[in-house]
């Protein structure tokens, strides 16, 4: 094997097209990780708005921030963040029913079988305590409590202002050497010989040349699609919601440590409490609800004085067929869109950025890297897609045309296998480091009414007294820990209160 000499040209110039959460998450991570090994430039225009409604996150963002050496309390003050222990789903299985998807581990797994098998065996033997009683994060969320615990025993994410997060990351990236250029992209210039992107040409005529380009231009996908025609797979037949309205309101009470996802007859709405305000939105399918009626419905359900004008959004679920094509990598919405039901938008940005850094080319872009990157990105999006479809498909609602469509629609074979395996055996298998853990699938499937017909025989190893002691001990541990936790709002104020810091 021959190693190229150090005198050969290197792929040093990385250009990020677009700012917002995607652009600055990419710039901050690359600048901090790669340092002077690259020349990093970000091009954005203050005249172009960003989506800016990604307020709810999932636990991997905690690790992302730690990888970048971000002080958590400082970050939370800057983004007006609160803690998030999961999502409360209201009205999804049926009207009036609710369940909770927590970020924690329920009970205690055995290496051969998850805790749900022991809980199912206990239910068969007369133990009627709900599955929820065995999850620390769920019980803490329902009682409005939170604290950092030793050994990271509490799993959590954040509810944050994504516009402020982008601003926070921009300051960090620029301090680490990233260069920002203000301007609108007028056209993308291609190399006639290779077909690669050679430069971004701005409206003022300036050219920004680069070796590797990151497309963070959102739904416009100016590089990956408009210039390189990477292709797109449409998943709207599985995820029919195509519109949303977002609005911010004053806080009317202490912030609770979870997000609400409340179903209505043509979709669902969210409520996300931050330190300084509450984020609200209505997601809907325009085939079943028009814009005016959707706005009226949203305004009729918000609490507190509105702080912003409604932000109307149109979208379609799907994924770019090639998220790395030639010398362009799609990051964020340019690579595809998953509706915000399970708060995965920022996570998909994070996954793409970290994956790219691991595959960063030295002197030339490898087709093998591109193929591997695309395969892994596609697998991520398919697994998240299936998890989202589960919420719509596994419903007993037939009270509207929208829910009848969802309940009757054909679903991917991969999801059919997951559902039927769980229904028949109580088992869930997590594949290839997929995002959602076994307990996430268990909570949502049982929450939506899919109950296993059997459980693992390992649960039969315990006699009645042993099983009763196990279940009781686990419940008591959860109850005792939750009882000792402070109120979430008070903990946030002490740990990272933005209002207190401003007053000081």
- The predicted pLDDT at position 1 comes to 43
| Residues 218 and 321 placed together within one structural domain of the fold | yes
**CATH number of the structural domain spanning residue 227:** 3.50.50.60
Same domain membership, residue 207 and residue 287: no
**What is the predicted pLDDT for the residue at 348?**
95
Tens-place pLDDT, residues 424-438: 999 999 887 899 999
What confidence category does residue 10 fall into, taking pLDDT thresholds of 50, 70 and 90?
A: confident
Beta bridge partners, 213, equal 15, 328
How would residue 7 be classed by pLDDT, with cut points 50, 70 and 90?
low
Give the pLDDT band (50/70/90) at residue 46.
confident
pLDDT over 60 (residue 441): yes
Whether residue 335 is found in the same domain as residue 210: yes
Mean pLDDT to the nearest integer, 396-410: 98
Residues 43 and 169 in one domain: yes
Query: How confident is the model over 208-235, as pLDDT tens digits?
Result: 999 999 999 999 999 999 999 999 999 9
Model confidence at 351, pLDDT cuts 50, 70, 90, reads very high
The answer to whether residues 199 and 3 touch, using CB atoms and an 8 Å cutoff, is no
Q: For the sheet with 336-337, list strands across it.
A: 232-234, 318-320, 336-337
Whether 419 maps to a domain, the answer reads yes
Domain presence at residue 71: no
- Asked if the model's pLDDT at residue 412 lies above 70, the reply is yes
The pTM assigned to this predicted structure is 0.95
Average pLDDT, whole number, for the chain? 95
Q: Which phi and psi (to 5°) does residue 360 adopt?
A: -60, 125
Domain count, the chain: 3
198 membership: H or E segment, kind and range? strand 197-202
Q: Is residue 180 part of a domain?
A: yes
Q: Is 406 contained in some domain?
A: yes
Query: What mean pLDDT comes out for the span 316-327?
Result: 98
For residue range 162-193, list pLDDT tens digits in order: 999 999 999 999 999 999 999 999 999 999 99
* Domain final residue, candidates 365, 382, 400: 365
| pLDDT-above-90 percentage for the chain | 93
The pLDDT of residue 38: 96
Report the share of the chain in percent with pLDDT over 70.
Answer: 96
For residue 3, being part of any structural domain is answered with no
- Strand 39-44 versus strand 13-17 pairing type: parallel
| Residues 411, 452 within the same domain | yes
Q: What angle, rounded to 10 degrees, do the helices at 20-34 and 345-358 form? A: 30
Do residue 279 and residue 349 come from a single domain? no
Q: Does residue 342 fall inside a structural domain?
A: yes
222 and 321 fall within a common domain = yes
449 pLDDT tier (thresholds 50, 70, 90): very high
Q: Is the pLDDT of residue 334 over 50?
A: yes
Q: Same domain for 284 and 426?
A: no
360: domain range?
Answer: 13-55+161-235+317-365
């Amino acid at each position: 094997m021959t190693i190229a000499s150090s005198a050969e040209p290197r792929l040093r110039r990385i250009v990020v097209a677009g700012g917002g959460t995607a652009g600055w998450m990419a710039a901050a991570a690359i600048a901090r990780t790669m340092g002077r090994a690259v020349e990093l430039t970000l091009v954005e225009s203050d005249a172009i708005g960003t989506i800016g409604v990604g307020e709810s996150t999932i636990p991997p963002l905690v690790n992302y921030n730690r990888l970048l050496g971000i002080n958590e309390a400082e970050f939370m003050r800057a983004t007006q963040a609160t803690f998030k222990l999961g999502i409360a789903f209201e009205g999804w299985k049926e009207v009036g029913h609710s369940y909770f998807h927590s970020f924690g581990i329920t009970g205690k797994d055995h290496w051969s079988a998850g805790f749900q098998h022991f809980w199912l065996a206990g239910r068969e033997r007369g133990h009627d305590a709900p599955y929820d009683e065995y999850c620390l994060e769920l019980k803490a969320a329902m009682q409005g409590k939170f604290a950092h615990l030793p050994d990271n025993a509490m799993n959590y994410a954040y509810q944050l202002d994504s516009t402020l997060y982008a601003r926070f990351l921009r300051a960090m990236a620029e301090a680490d050497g990233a260069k920002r250029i203000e301007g609108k992209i007028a056209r993308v210039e291609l190399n006639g010989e290779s077909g690669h992107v050679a430069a971004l040409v701005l409206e003022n005529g300036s050219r920004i040349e680069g070796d590797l380009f990151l497309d963070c231009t959102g739904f416009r996908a100016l590089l990956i699609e408009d210039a390189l025609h990477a292709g797109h797979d449409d998943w709207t037949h599985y995820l029919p919601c195509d519109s949303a309205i977002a609005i911010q309101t004053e806080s009317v009470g202490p912030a609770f440590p979870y997000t609400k996802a409340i179903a209505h007859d043509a979709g669902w709405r969210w409520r996300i409490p931050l330190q300084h305000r509450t984020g609200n939105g209505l997601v809907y399918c325009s085939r079943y609800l028009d814009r005016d009626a959707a706005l009226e419905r949203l305004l009729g359900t918000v609490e507190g004085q509105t702080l912003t004008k409604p932000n109307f959004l149109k979208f379609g679920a799907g994924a770019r067929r090639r998220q790395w094509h030639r010398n362009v990598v799609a990051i964020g919405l340019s690579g595809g869109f998953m509706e915000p039901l399970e708060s995965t938008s920022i996570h998909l940005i994070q996954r793409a950025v970290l994956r790219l850094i691991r595959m960063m080319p030295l002197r030339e872009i490898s087709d093998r890297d591109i193929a591997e990157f695309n395969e892994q990105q596609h697998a991520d999006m398919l697994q998240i897609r299936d998890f989202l479809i589960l919420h719509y498909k596994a419903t007993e609602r037939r009270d509207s045309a929208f829910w009848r469509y969802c309940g009757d629609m054909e679903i991917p074979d991969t999801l059919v296998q997951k559902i039927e395996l769980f229904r028949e055996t109580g088992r869930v298998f997590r594949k290839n480091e997929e995002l959602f853990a076994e307990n996430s699938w268990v909570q949502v499937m049982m929450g939506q009414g899919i109950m296993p017909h059997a459980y693992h025989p390992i649960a039969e190893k315990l006699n009645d007294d042993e099983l009763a002691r196990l279940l009781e001990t686990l419940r008591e541990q959860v109850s005792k820990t939750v009882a000792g936790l402070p109120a979430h709002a008070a903990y946030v104020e002490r740990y990272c209160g933005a209002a207190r810091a401003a007053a000081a």
